Amino acid sequence: MIKMILAISGKPGLYKLVSRGNKMLIVESLDAARKRQPAYAADKIVSLGDISIYTDDDKEVSLASVLQSVKDNYDGKVVDLNAKKASSADITAFFEKVLPNYDRDRVRVSDMRKLLSWYNILVESGEDDFSEETEDEAEEAKPEA
């Protein structure tokens, strides 16, 4: 579930929400170390479920939909394009394959690189369920008291 995956400003990689503490979140890195650490209110924390990408028709596509498109185009495997070393033309060609109607004025190459990097991190860590859980599904998943 993509809402439980977090990006923390100033810290590399992605993190999975483990627990909530007093004025902080307990997060676990999605790399091989799986290190747990606190994330405080002063850190800029964003859930991947809250991120959208601009399109040409003045609408926004959720990041989960774009990640699912990448998964479908690459059969759920890691993309062999290096997000840091690839040329801007290669990154743009990759993104046009995944989301052809993205807004070329507002979506930067750096955003595309970050999406590619995040996708590879998620697939390598086994977090490849890019579905967005609706409120009804969340209510059904809660155990009865």
Render 49-108 in DSSP notation, one character per residue. Answer: GG-EEEBTTS-EEEHHHHHHHHHHHTTTSPP-S-TTTS-HHHHHHHHHHH-TTB-TTTS-
Shared domain check, 112 and 96? yes
Q: Which of 12, 31, 48 is the last residue of a domain?
A: 48
Shared domain check, 56 and 42? no
pLDDT exceeds cutoff 90 at 81:
no
**Domain of 77: which CATH number?**
1.10.10.1650
Report pLDDT for 137.
46
- What is the β-pairing status of strands 45-47 and 5-8? antiparallel
**Domain of 8: which CATH number?**
2.30.30.730
Report pLDDT for 110.
92
Shared domain check, 112 and 72? yes
Shared domain check, 116 and 76? yes
Shared domain check, 57 and 38? no
**Mean pLDDT, residues 90-99:** 92
- What gap in Å lies between CA 55 and CA 16, rounded to an integer? 28
**Mean pLDDT, residues 9-14:** 88
Per residue in 114-142, pLDDT (tens digit) is 999 999 999 988 887 777 655 444 444 44
Shared domain check, 54 and 108? yes
Per residue in 49-64, pLDDT (tens digit) is 899 999 998 889 999 9
Report pLDDT for 93.
92
Lowest-confidence segment of 3-12, 19-28, 123-132 by average pLDDT: 123-132
For residue 54 the two structure tokens come to: 């601009």
The boundaries of the domain holding residue 71 are 50-124
Shared domain check, 56 and 119? yes
The domain total for the chain is: 2
Query: pTM (2 decimals)?
Result: 0.83
Shared domain check, 91 and 70? yes
Per residue in 33-47, pLDDT (tens digit) is 889 999 988 889 999
